[in-house]
Amino acid sequence: MTKYFIGLDVGGMSMKAGLVDENGKIICKDTCVTAPERPYAEVVKDMYELCRKTAEKGGVDFESVAGVGIGIPGTVNSEKGTVTYSGNLNFVKVGVLKEFAKHTRVKTFIGNDANCAALGEARFGSGGGKKNAILVTLGTGVGTGFILNDRILEGNDGAGAEGGHICIRINGEKCTCGERGCWEAYASATALIRQTERALEKYPDSIMHDIVKEMGKVSGRTAFLAYNKGDKAGAKVVKDYVKYVACGIINLVNVFRPDVIMIGGGVSHEGDYFVKMVEKIVRRHSFGGSNNKVPPVVRASLGNDAGIIGAAALAM
């Protein structure tokens, strides 16, 4: 008999649930608004209701599912089942699992949403079931999730896995976290846009100016589009950005030496050629060079479903 799980991916705007089988396949999904301005007990009750509804939508009695996994943005203590702090959900020291258990006897687990995505990608996505995998998300910031021996690296009180805040240039660019030189300040989409804006100022003849005019704004794609049209300034931006992304990945490889590195987030949609450019530098500059096994760098494959699938995987 197939075992079913519910994966719940909770965001500040909406929450998404999926009925997931033991192979990580989503049978059906459902969603509802989060409305985090309400008392937490109401939000948790809606989490439960959405899980129940999603199971029933898939023709499965909720109380018979093998487990529920909940992914939450913020600092999560999975062992205690508590959310230490979630700005998006307006949760401060909330015993989510205890509250959830008031509604059901189904075994339930909780984790940080980015860590869940890493677990989902590692087990059922681009990680191909590898036991040691790192997901790097290049978006507004740089997120990292670490799967070691098939388990999430959470850190004390859920405060670890902040690889985006590894300093790669002491006294460097200012980061949103208040420190200087963080990887995120060089390798996020936000950083790429900043680097593109500087290049636009410096190279008035670059075709990036035309691209910006056409698109109506500078974006994380501007430099890549110019690069692909043979623009020198665009190529310089791309080359430097790839080096920044690779630098942080090399740092992670030297410490973890995982089986695979997966790149997700907005910038990863640029395509496989971008990921290959990163991989080439990682392969050349990781510690020990070709004497050591260098993990492949691949593009994350689950997209927005990684959170649901990974949350479900928490319960497997």
Neighbours of 97 (CB within 10 A): 19
Decide: is 167 part of the binding site for its own copies (CB under 8 A): yes
CB 163 within 8 A of CB 183: yes
Spatial separation of the C-alpha atoms in residues 157 and 149, rounded to whole Å = 20
Decide: is 215 part of the binding site for its own copies (CB under 8 A): no
Q: Per CB under 8 A, which of residues 10..49 are in contact with its own copies?
A: none
CB 172 within 8 A of CB 185: yes
Neighbours of 266 (CB within 10 A): 16
What minimum distance in Å lies between the beta carbon of 36 and its own copies? 19
User: Which one, 65 or 168, has the nearer CB to its own copies?
Assistant: 168
What minimum distance in Å lies between the beta carbon of 119 and its own copies? 16
What minimum distance in Å lies between the beta carbon of 142 and its own copies? 12
- At 17, the amino acid letter reads A
Per CB under 8 A, the segment of 12-20, 39-47, 163-171, 297-305 that binds its own copies is 163-171
- Site mask, its own copies, residues 75-104, x = CB under 8 A? x---------x-------------------
Total residues in contact with its own copies, by rule CB under 8 A:
48
Per CB under 8 A, the segment of 31-39, 55-63, 143-151, 305-313 that binds its own copies is 143-151
Residue with tokens 């999904």: 29
Spatial separation of the C-alpha atoms in residues 251 and 234, rounded to whole Å = 26
User: Which one, 95 or 160, has the nearer CB to its own copies?
Assistant: 160
Whole-angstrom CA distances from 298 to 117, 143, 257 are: 15, 16, 15
Q: Per CB under 8 A, which of residues 175..204 are in contact with its own copies?
A: 177-179, 181, 186
| Bridge partners for 75 per DSSP | 85
Decide: is 254 part of the binding site for its own copies (CB under 8 A): yes
Neighbours of 50 (CB within 10 A): 21
Neighbours of 216 (CB within 10 A): 7
| Bridge partners for 143 per DSSP | 137
Out of 20, 26, 122, 161, the only residue in the binding site for its own copies (CB under 8 A) is 161
Q: Per CB under 8 A, which of residues 283..312 are in contact with its own copies?
A: 285, 287-289, 291-293, 295
User: Which one, 40 or 146, has the nearer CB to its own copies?
Assistant: 146
Which strands sit side by side in the sheet containing 75-77, from one edge to the other?
Answer: 75-77, 82-86, 91-94
User: 3-state class of 219 per DSSP?
Assistant: coil
Enumerate binding residues for its own copies (CB under 8 A): 75, 85, 132, 144, 146, 148, 153-157, 159-163, 165-170, 172, 177-179, 181, 186, 243-244, 247, 250-252, 254-259, 285, 287-289, 291-293, 295
